[in-house]
Structure 1
Amino acid sequence: MSIAMTQPLYQSSTFGWISIVRLGLVQAAIGAIVVMTTSTLNRIMVVELALPASLPGLLVAIHYFVQVIRPRMGFESDIGAKRTPWIIGGIGLLALGGFGAAIATTLMGVNLIFGIAAAIVAFFLIGIGVSMSGTSLLALLAKGVSDDRRAAAATTVWLMMIFGFALTSGIAGKFLDPYSPEKVILISGIISSIACVLTVLALYKLEGHELENKPISSEKKTPFRKALADILADSDTRKFTIFIFLSMFAFSAQDLILEPFAGIVFKYSLGETTSLSGIQHSGVLTGMLLVAICGSSRLRPYFGSLRSWMIYGCLASAMAMFGLVLAGIVEGAWPLKLNVFVLGLANGAFSIAAIASMMRLAVVGGSGKEGVRIGLWGGAQAIAFGLGGLLGAGASDLARSIFTNPAFAYSSVFFIEAILFIASAYMASQVESKTSSPSGAR
């Protein structure tokens, strides 16, 4: 009998859809600050300040690598009475880092060394703030949402984060033209302030007494290292961590090379490559919504478990990557837009299934360590994203130095990513059915 059938699954139906949307607003606030630093400030450094593109790339990588502290942040929120202070505190640090990054970027135009030093500090704060707020928020969501709503809740929260990306980019873009350093600082400060206020209002009286962690005497408190070691002792936790790392590494490695591939090999213009990125994102959203609908308790028996969506989503992603390999070989005679949409569809399906499974696994066996588990997987995801972006672009540069034909160079990188997705599917298949919804857990 599997572990999932013998261990009780802690779950609560405390959060209804209004509460889930309120948590989604917090996630949107996080997205609003992050997109300003990783997108808008990135463009200003490269275009307006004419700095090397590797500089914002390294700064973004810093904020990912700092998130290795996520398990510790989750542990601290586990042993506290409530997670709300950790979410608000994390948003505060994130807002401070985002505002500091805007000041640092404008400072680069005056004194490059001081500006870079200030930016490094700011991106450290951004990484810490995301770790505190994001880990505690997902742990609270996992604890407060019933099992049959997890896929839909995860989709709702992530769609609201994407909405935060889009809304902030659109509004900030209108007010930033024409560019001036003063505008950048002012708009960043306004966005950070609104995000903080929105977070406080959204979380007001949301975490009730029934979701509070039970107080533990100092003598009985488990040290962080032992708590982490106990969690890693579970084979499913280790396998799921490896799955998260491999799948998100493959997912992120394509981000920085897909548009250059379309421009160099298929001769797409700047507008056409931007449109191609939009096609991929629409596929991701479609995949997320598909899992949210099919992952409901009523339809799950007909469309498969979350574990199945992870496995087949990764395999479909691998097939789409193999399609890009062929696209590089045959070049113009390939339906690139359809291929990219299918890739986004498969990516969205497996990623939202992974997030919902993460929430489910975090509460298996009872409450008390949700934050550490969520932090472990969130840290693995962040490191994968940081490495994926850097190594994906680096691998494409290396391949182009080896192959005279740039199409073959990109195809070789896509081939490696396809293999990583197959390895991810294998690791997902090795995780026991705790990621499914066993009858004994309802």
Structure 2
Amino acid sequence: MTTGDSIGMSWFGIARIGLVQASLGAVVMLATTVLNRIMVVELTMAAAIPAGLVAWHYAVQLSRPLWGHGSDQGRKRTPWILGGIAVLAMAALLATQATLMMQSQPTLGFALAILAYSLIGVGVGAGGTSALALLASTVAPKRRAAAAALTWIMMVAGIVVSAITVGQFLKPYSPERLLMVAAGLAVTVICITALATFRLERGAATFAETAKSEPPPDFRAALQEIWHEKAARRFTIFIFVSMIAFSMQDLILEPFAGLVFGMSPGDSTQLGGMHQGGILLGMIVAGVGGSAFSGRLPSDLRIWIVSGCLASAAALAGFAAAAIHGPGWPLGINAFILGLGNGVFAVAAIGAMMGLAGAGEKTREGVRMGVWGASQAIAFGLGGLIGALGVDIARRVQTSDGIAFQLIFAIEAALFVIAAALATRVTNTRTQTRPQTHQDTEVFA
């Protein structure tokens, strides 16, 4: 244990946690974008099928508070991190095999896919929640938001690198090549995570404000404490609403590129990489700007969130126009601008989340990060499912694929405007180095 004046975990240690996040993002990219595209375009399935599988893996992540509570009990988070990533990697390989079986053995393929996406949810929940809890409990309060931004930047970098690399290795596409690429990715992320977490917790200090003097409460009591805190409750609701807007295009962007613009699997995967590259730059811009983390002005966080939401809405309006314009539209630039707005918004939200992580009187970081992670996961699942179902319905009703996608992109743009309006109530209070109370850390005015 140390005091709030210590610097806590070094930047090198924080970067190691970032490698875990990068590994997690790389595997999730394969399951939620590449396999989604293969099912919709190559296997000519309804978009609702992969959307349902992705939504199910998010639903499984309702277990995040349980994983966080478990790591709180033992105060050793590394085994949870490594075990979660290993389960995630193997589950993604199983999901790839299941996808390839869906055409020749549909019943067995779908059954294996449900199992695989269930395990993906378990892996993300156990590994991701424990990594964030370790970050929140061993990093000095004044560094937490910046540290969170760094790890998220590394996660997005991992997604970008893996999307571009996987896209290249999938050219020319074949089922056998897809399986080989998935196997190589699984082995790579397990090795990276094992190296990144080796002796990571040895000698790591836990800050006084996070090391409660009494044992952590049981799981039900911990959830009740969090929900009765005005700041935590309102922040949970904000995360839920904003992340639905954030995720609606996730499962339709690559099918949009394939159906409307005629892109190959490798090209549409690289388009996703452009989007993630924009997110990366947006995070860097917001992080370097520093306003989201300074806590000196109540409007700091609100400005970044609103700006990111409105930029995202504008980019989605561009996609709506592209759906009618067709080939010739600068689709890569449009995807990059969308990512830029997404990244600015995400860093601001992460800053608020990390600032509240250690604010509980009794609860610890694991269960609190689990609650917010579960809220985010359900929002992501609903957003992706709503987007995909909306496209399926619109494609049946409308006269062309372009008009169908235009409608969904326009709805998503409107949701981002609504999220920006909600964000006008967001305030950022001064950074504390002592134990925070709910009066100190109120997120919504």
- Give TM-score scaled by structure 1 length: 0.81
Deviates more, 1:338-347 or 1:175-184: 175-184
SS at match of 2:205: helix
Question: Does 2:266 align with 1:270?
Answer: no
Residue type matched to 1:62 in 2? W
- Given that residues 15 and 145 in structure 1 are in contact (C-alpha distance below 8 angstroms), is that contact kept between their aligned partners in structure 2? yes
Is the Cα–Cα contact under 8 Å of residues 261 and 410 in structure 1 kept in the other structure? yes
Query: Are the structure 2 counterparts of residues 366 and 192 from structure 1 closer, same or farther at C-alpha, using a change threshold of 3 Å?
Result: farther
How is 1:283-294 mapped onto 2 (pairs within 5 angstroms)?
Answer: 283-294=278-289
Counterpart position of 2:137: 143
The alignment covers a number of residue pairs equal to 429
In 2 relative to 1, CA 429–11 (structure 1 residues): closer, same or farther, beyond 3 Å?
farther
Matched, 1:357 2:380: no
2:153 partner amino acid: L
Shift of 1:88: 1.5
| Aligned residue in 2 for 1:205 | 199
Does the aligned pair in 1 maintain the 2:41–2:258 contact within 8 Å? Answer: no
Name the structure 1 match of 2:240. Answer: 245
Q: Which amino acid in the other structure matches residue 270 of structure 1?
A: M
Is 1:18 the counterpart of 2:12 in the alignment? Answer: yes
CA RMSD of aligned residues (A): 4.0
Percent identity over the alignment is 46
Q: Give yes or no for contact 2:248–2:387 (8 Å, CA) kept in 1.
A: yes
Counterpart position of 1:4 = none
Tell me by how many angstroms 1:259 deviates: 6.2
1:297-328 residue CA offsets vs partner (Å, 9 max, x unmatched)? 99775996334312332244345545666777
1:152 and 1:131, CA in 2 relative to 1: closer, same or farther beyond 3 A? same
Question: Shift of residue 85 of structure 1?
Answer: 1.6
Q: Secondary structure at the match of 2:59?
A: helix
Q: Which amino acid aligns with 2:12?
A: I
Q: Distance in 1 between matches of 2:340 and 2:425?
A: 23
Instruction: Indicate which of 146, 150, 160 corresponds to 2:154.
Output: 160
In the TM superposition, what is the alpha-carbon distance from 1:227 to its structure 2 partner?
A: 0.8
What's the secondary structure of 1:270's corresponding residue?
Answer: coil
* Cross-structure match for 1:229: 224
The structural deviation recorded for 1:375 is 1.0
Q: Which of 340, 343, 348 is the aligned partner of 1:348?
A: 343
Q: Measure, in 1, the Cα distance between the counterparts of 2:398 and 2:45.
A: 28
Residues 27, 229 of structure 1: CA spacing in aligned structure 2 closer, same or farther, 3 A cutoff? same
Distance in 2, Cα, partners of 1:94 & 1:235:
34
Tell me which residue corresponds to 1:85. Answer: 79
* Residue 371 of structure 1, aligned match among 363, 366, 369: 366
Distance 1:46 1:180 in 2: 16
1:7-406 equivalence runs, <5 A: 13-46=7-40, 52-108=46-102, 110-173=104-167, 184-207=178-201, 208-211=203-206, 221-257=216-252, 268=261, 270=263, 279-295=274-290, 305-321=300-316, 341-365=336-360, 368-399=363-394
Return the alpha-carbon distance in structure 1 between the equivalents of residues 270 and 240 of structure 2. 29
Is the contact made by 1:11 and 1:363 (CA closer than 8 Å) also made in structure 2? no
Bigger drift between 394-403 and 198-207 goes to 394-403
CA gap of 1:318–1:239, structure 2 versus 1, over 3 A, is farther
Using a 3 Å threshold, how does the CA distance of structure 1 residues 144 and 426 change in structure 2: closer, same or farther?
farther
Q: Is the 8 A contact 2:291 2:300 kept in 1?
A: no
Deviations 1:76-120 (A, max 9, x none): 112222111211121122123123223333444553212221221
Cα distance, 1:358 vs. partner? 0.9
Q: Distance in 1 between matches of 2:293 and 2:34?
A: 42
Query: Following TM superposition, by how much is the alpha carbon of 1:178 offset from its aligned partner in structure 2, in angstroms?
Result: 6.2
Q: Residues 415-434 of structure 1: matches in 2 within 5 Å? A: 415-434=410-429
Code of the residue aligned with 2:131 in structure 1: it is L
AA in 1 matched with 2:218: P
Quote the Cα distance in structure 2 between the aligned partners of 1:50 and 1:414: 22
Confirm or deny: 8 A CA contact 1:81 1:215 kept in the other structure. no
Q: For 2:194 and 2:391, locate their aligned partners in 1 and report how far apart those are by CA, in whole Å.
A: 43
Asked if the contact 1:284–1:344 (Cα under 8 Å) also holds between the matched residues in 2, the reply is yes
Shift of 1:295: 1.9
**Aligned equivalents of 2:246, 2:381: Cα separation in 1:** 11
Counterparts of 1:138 and 1:233 in 2: how far apart (Å)? 23
Alpha-carbon distance, 1:430 to partner: 3.5
Deviations 1:201-253 (A, max 9, x none): 21122223523986998xx6522112101101112212111111111111111
SS at match of 1:430: coil
Q: Which amino acid aligns with 1:200?
A: A
CA distance in 2, matches of 1:323, 1:177: 29
- Tell me the secondary structure at the aligned position of residue 355 of structure 1: helix
The 8 Å contact of residues 167 and 269 in structure 2, kept in 1 or not, is answered as no
In structure 1, runs of 5+ residues without a counterpart are 1-8
Following superposition, the deviation at residue 74 of structure 1 comes to 1.2
- 2: CA distance, partners of 1:36 / 1:141: 25
1:5: which partner in 2? none
Query: What CA distance in whole angstroms lies between the structure 2 residues aligned with 1:51 and 1:405?
Result: 17
1:354-388 CA-to-partner distances (Å, cap 9, x unmatched) read 11211111112568421112111111111111111
Deviation at 1:199, TM superposition (A): 1.5
Q: Secondary structure at the match of 1:211?
A: coil
**Counterpart residue identity of residue 111, structure 1:** Q
Could you tell me which amino acid in structure 1 is paired with residue 246 of structure 2?
A: F
Distance 1:84 1:11, change over 3 A: farther
> Is the 1:249–1:385 Cα contact (8 Å) retained in structure 2?
yes
Displacement of 1:293:
0.4
